[in-house]
């Protein structure tokens, strides 16, 4: 019993189903055998009794309309059909008819009517054990007699004894058939379950390479289809999650990089503001205490005023950069004529070019226009041209060319300043904030170092491609403008 319970606790459903099915089949076989052994004789006896009694009633009903001679075939048929013995005797106990003539041979004396008159003692109902005995009056057209019917149940009792003797053989057959059927049944039922379980274990380990193939129209087929759908959906969800995770990592890396750049930027801003503030503080202290040359207040007030203007310009540039980096910043898109835009910029910068005797040579198609943010584009172009003027030697030329590329649906804006070259190392860093080729950071020879950084920020906002390269003539700054921003 313990071994059975231990087997039932095992994980393999095949073993469980095999043991349960075997137990059920053997139990049913034992139940059927015990039912046959104990209840079959009683049932058969009742059935046989009912059959014998029914036949007797039918014989009595049919005999009342027949003479004795014509009714004898009825008794012979009844005796053969039910394996019974039938006697007819008169009131004096003389047997008029017996179903087995051999029983009364030697004592038969034909009566005047042709029947046998036999004088012999009738069999007592207790003479044969387990027998059916009935004595009833019967009426014929020519006589009134007594009917005696006797039948034995001995064959069914012998069948019960045979069943008991045959029990070992039946047990062997039942055990073989039961265990074999249980094994085949358990294998047939659990094979798809085991197959589905193996595939489900792979899915649990996030292995979605295998698909469950159970071709059935029952719940097993529905289960396999559901698991396949679950596998596909889970695999897709995992891929989406991986993509989202990768994007999140990328965004976090970008955010860290932006945050680092922002910290570096503000550190440089603090440094850029600290220097002029220190100079102004020194000038003001000297003027307050009338120390040496600082007694000429008008001269140093003018220098301080220029320093404040430089600081104000620097703050404006920083505020502009900050606006571009905000997520809430929105472009103000409009149609911009490039010829008019470049003319406006060159007029504003004409004074700086004339101071250095620099010639601005423009080659622009008057019909070219782009759909973009006018203010930002003007700021970027002005910084590029102003940067070219500031870093060109006196008497050089600056070529400004705007040409449309019809095949690529874009406009090329090119600025070339002659007589100057930029080191390759400087080109790699030239778009960084506060980076200047002139290392002394003298404001008389250059700006704050934010001009090209602002160009970079605006180009990214307006989807502009830009580059700077050395050419035979000098330095070329190339800007590729899309015709429209969607």
CB atoms within 10 A of CB 465: 12
Pairing of the two strands 465-470 and 397-405: unpaired
User: Which range, of 152-156, 208-212, 228-232, averages the lowest pLDDT?
Assistant: 152-156
pLDDT computed for residue 400 by the predictor: 92
pLDDT tens string 378-407: 888 988 998 888 888 899 999 999 988 777
pLDDT at res. 325: 64
Least confident interval from 84-93, 210-219, 463-472: 210-219
| The model's pTM | 0.46
Buried b (16+ CB within 10 A) or exposed e, 324-334: eeeeeeeeeee
Give the pLDDT of residue 3: 53
SS3 assignment, position 354: helix
Integer Cα distance of 478 and 469 in angstroms: 8
Nearest C-alpha neighbor of 142 from the set 58, 77, 69? 69
**Rounded distance between C-alpha atoms, residue 156 and residue 42, angstroms:** 9
Which parts of 219-296 fold into alpha helices (H)?
219-288
DSSP secondary structure of 3-50: HHHHHHTSS-HHHHHHHHHHHHHHHHHHHHHHHHHHHHHHHHHHHHHH
**pLDDT score of 254 more than 60:** yes
Q: What is the pLDDT of residues 404-450, one digit of tens each?
A: 877 767 899 999 998 888 888 777 778 777 776 665 555 555 556 67
* Domains within the chain, CATH numbers bracketed: 4-165 (no CATH), 330-482 (3.30.565.10)
pLDDT at 91: 85
Q: Helix (H, G, I), strand (E, B), or coil: what is residue 146?
A: strand
From 167-176, 268-277, 301-310, 443-452, the region with the lowest mean pLDDT: 443-452
pLDDT tens-place string over residues 12-46: 667 777 788 778 878 878 888 787 777 777 777 78
Question: What average pLDDT does range 227-244 have in this prediction?
Answer: 82
Distance CA 354, CA 6 (A): 104
Q: What's the pLDDT at 416?
A: 92
For the chain, give the mean pLDDT: 77
Structure tokens given for 280: 């102004």
| Cβ proximity of 323 and 365 under 8 Å | no
Lowest mean pLDDT among 60-64, 329-333, 455-459: 329-333
What is residue 2's predicted lDDT score, i.e. its pLDDT? 54
């Amino acid at each position: 019993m313990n071994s059975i319970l231990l087997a039932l606790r095992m994980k393999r459903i095949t073993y469980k189903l095999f043991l349960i099915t075997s137990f059920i089949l053997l139990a049913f076989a034992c139940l059927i055998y015990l039912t046959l052994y104990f209840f079959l004789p009683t049932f058969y006896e009742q059935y046989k009794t009912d059959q014998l009694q029914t036949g007797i009633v039918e014989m009595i009903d049919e005999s009342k309309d027949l003479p004795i001679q014509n009714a004898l075939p009825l008794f012979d048929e009844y005796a053969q059909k039910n394996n019974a013995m039938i006697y007819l005797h008169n009131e004096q106990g003389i047997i008029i008819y017996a179903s087995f003539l051999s029983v009364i041979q030697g004592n038969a004396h034909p009566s005047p009517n042709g029947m046998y008159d036999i004088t012999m003692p009738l069999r007592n109902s207790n003479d044969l054990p387990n027998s059916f005995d009935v004595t009833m009056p019967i009426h014929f057209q020519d006589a009134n007699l007594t009917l005696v019917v006797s039948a034995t149940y001995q064959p069914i009792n012998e069948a019960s004894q045979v069943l008991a003797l045959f029990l070992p053989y039946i047990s062997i057959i039942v055990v073989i058939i039961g265990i074999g059927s249980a094994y085949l049944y358990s294998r047939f039922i659990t094979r798809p379950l085991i197959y589905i379980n193996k595939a489900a274990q792979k899915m649990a380990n996030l292995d979605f390479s295998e698909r469950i193939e159970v071709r059935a129209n029952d719940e097993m087929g529905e289960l396999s289809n559901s698991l396949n759908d679950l596998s596909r959906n889970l695999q897709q969800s995992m891929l989406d999650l991986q993509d989202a995770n990768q994007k999140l990592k990328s965004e976090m890396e970008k955010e860290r990089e932006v945050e680092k750049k922002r910290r570096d930027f503000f550190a440089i801003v603090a440094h850029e503001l600290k220097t002029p503030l220190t100079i102004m503080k020194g000038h003001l202290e000297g003027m307050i205490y009338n120390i040496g040359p600082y007694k000429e207040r008008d001269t140093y007030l003018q220098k301080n005023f220029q320093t404040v203007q430089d600081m104000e310009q620097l703050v404006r540039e920083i505020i502009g950069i900050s606006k571009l980096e905000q997520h809430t910043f929105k472009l103000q898109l409009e149609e911009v004529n490039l010829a008019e835009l470049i003319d406006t910029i060159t007029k504003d910068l004409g004074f700086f070019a004339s101071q250095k005797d620099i010639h601005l040579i423009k080659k622009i198609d008057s019909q070219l226009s782009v759909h973009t943010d006018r203010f930002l584009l003007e700021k970027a172009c002005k910084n590029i041209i102003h940067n070219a003027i500031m870093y060109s030697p006196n008497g050089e030329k600056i070529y400004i060319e705007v040409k449309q590329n019809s095949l690529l649906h874009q406009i090329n804006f090119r600025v070339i300043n002659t007589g100057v070259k930029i080191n390759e190392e400087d080109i790699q860093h030239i778009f960084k904030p506060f980076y200047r080729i002139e290392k002394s950071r003298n404001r008389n020879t250059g700006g704050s170092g934010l001009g090209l950084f602002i160009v970079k920020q605006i180009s990214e906002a307006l989807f502009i491609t830009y580059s700077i390269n050395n050419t035979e003539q000098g330095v070329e700054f190339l800007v590729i403008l899309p015709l429209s921003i969607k």
